[in-house]
Homo-oligomer: A and B are copies of this chain.
Amino acid sequence: MSIEKNYHMSSDEFRKYGYAVIDWIADYHEKNTKYPVQSQVEPGDIRKALPESAPNQGESFEEILKDMDNIILPGITHWQSPDFFGYFPANTSGPSILGELFSSGLGVQGMLWITSPACTELETRVLDWLVDMLGLPGKFKSSDTGGGVIQDSASSAALTALIAARERKNNFQSNKKGCNGKLVAYVSTQTHSSLEKAVRIAGIGEDNLHIIPVDGKFAMDAEALNHAIQEDKKAGRVPFFVCATIGTTSSNAIDPLPEIGSICKREGLWMHVDAAMSGTATICPEFRYLNNGLEYADSYAFNPHKWMFTNFDCDCFYVSDRAHLIQTLSILPEYLRNQATETGAVFDYRDWQIQLGRRFRALKLWFVIRHYGVEGLQYHIRNHISLAQQFAQWIEDSQDFEVMAPVPLNLVCFRHKSDNKKNEILLNQLNQSGKLFLTHTKLNDQFILRMVIGQTYTVKENVLKAWNLIQEFSQNL
């Protein structure tokens, strides 16, 4: 430390406040069930509690810590509460938090191999591990024609796949001349909304995203897909891309990959498989049947930041032909040229993603896998699935509620046997109680409650408490 005032946090202060933040987080994870799961603030409450302008002089870290408790915490919806059953899990864990902490402290850029070789090579290695851990096709490995890369989200993975597919079909001519409005992509009525966003962004256009109906289990109707492709071809349009899903957002439906894949192969379409949450289940051999048909996939994505105890952002995106992806996204200005890149002996992950910059996200994933081991991850996935199956059974056995979709894994879609309005009221009352948090969807125009069991610390007593609350609140409907 220079004697001159330099405004930095000193090393001693960093240690002191660093310990304090670690303790704060440990305490938070121990006691976060004491807060209402869904934040109870009104729009504008938090903003009004914050000063209208930045401080001219620095403030003490004690002040900042105080505001974390007094201003920020009331505005938090507690995704890390074991009573959080909404949306999809976005879980974290001790080893993940510490891996991310290393990443912040090292502060390296991983855009090129040369800008920190460990950042690239650890990522390549860990993503190869996951191919074996999940029983994915070997072509997705870096030692084969493919390879994996960490994306920020399944949305970015889908966009990246869509663009690579676009260029494959157009022989890189849309990269050069722009899109021409003729390409057609396919999803089901249940596919995630990120695909609709991606076709907008990529210049394909929503009119060219054809929505295929689903069967009684909310899975894509492969015959209808085939029919739509034939009709589009007859009309002079150019089918190029299908997104199939392992575990849809609404109801966890499993699209028929073998049938869809065989159509894609015959017609020369790119098959992207979105397994954002449910892909993690295949770490258990008994759920590996979900991967049937993946041998047809050109790309695949799943999110350890959902259900694999790795904090956001960490989506694992695989392609079967990395050369194609790299040709789609590579641009090499002079200021990024370097000998390692020129030799072709290294991966520069900037060519595998939308952005240029990237941080060292592989650390947290590596920490999680090493800390839990495959065995520990399997233990928790099995436990969550078993709790969801138990919950579904309680619903089945009840007179007042019904299960509304198949429950292959850890998501239970259910409703009170009354009308939509009453189910919506039930959901709102449950969430306003602060004792648990659920979200909803609509299936066949029915308002459906979604119970997703996947938060890191959720155990049986949380699920039982939830079921009791749901029954209790339903008495007043």
A21 to B106, CA, bound (A): 11
Choose one: B8, B72, B128, B357; the contact of A456 (CB below 8 Å): B8
A sample of 21 cross-chain residue pairs with beta-carbon separation below 8 angstroms, ordered by A number, consists of A9-B371, A13-B94, A15-B22, A18-B22, A25-B101, A41-B117, A43-B346, A46-B125, A53-B132, A54-B130, A56-B373, A58-B371, A61-B98, A79-B109, A87-B115, A91-B107, A153-B355, A175-B200, A193-B356, A250-B334, A250-B335
Asked whether A262 is an interface residue with its Cβ less than 8 Å from the other chain, the reply is no
Please name all residues of chain B whose beta carbon is closer than 8 Å to the beta carbon of A93 when the two chains form the complex. Answer: 8-9
Choose one: B72, B177, B202; the contact of A118 (CB below 8 Å): B72
- Contact flags A19-32 to B (C-beta < 8 A → 1, else 0): 10111111011100
Instruction: Decide: B26 and A371 in contact? CB cutoff 8 A.
Output: no
Instruction: Decide: B108 and A79 in contact? CB cutoff 8 A.
Output: yes
Please name all residues of chain B whose beta carbon is closer than 8 Å to the beta carbon of A370 when the two chains form the complex. Answer: 54-55, 58-59, 63-64
Interface residues of chain A: helix, strand, loop or mixed (majority): helix
Please name all residues of chain B whose beta carbon is closer than 8 Å to the beta carbon of A336 when the two chains form the complex. Answer: 193
A341 to B6, CA, bound (A): 44
Question: Considering only CB atoms and an 8 Å cut-off, how many residues of chain A contact the other chain?
Answer: 167
Task: Name A61-103 residues within 8 Å CB distance of B.
Answer: 61, 63-64, 68, 71-80, 87, 90-98, 100-102
Choose one: B6, B118, B153, B333; the contact of A75 (CB below 8 Å): B118
Q: Please name the residue on chain B nearest to A160 by beta carbon.
A: B201
Choose the segment among A226-234, A375-383, A465-473 that binds chain B (4+ C-beta atoms closer than 8 Å).
Answer: A375-383
Choose the segment among A264-272, A287-295, A438-446 that binds chain B (4+ C-beta atoms closer than 8 Å).
Answer: A438-446
Task: Name A389-403 residues within 8 Å CB distance of B.
Answer: none
- Contact flags A198-233 to B (C-beta < 8 A → 1, else 0): 011111111110000000000000000000000000
Q: Could you tell me the distance in whole angstroms from the C-beta of A43 to the nearest C-beta in chain B?
A: 4
Interface centre among A102, A156, A332, A340 (most CB of B within 10 A): A102
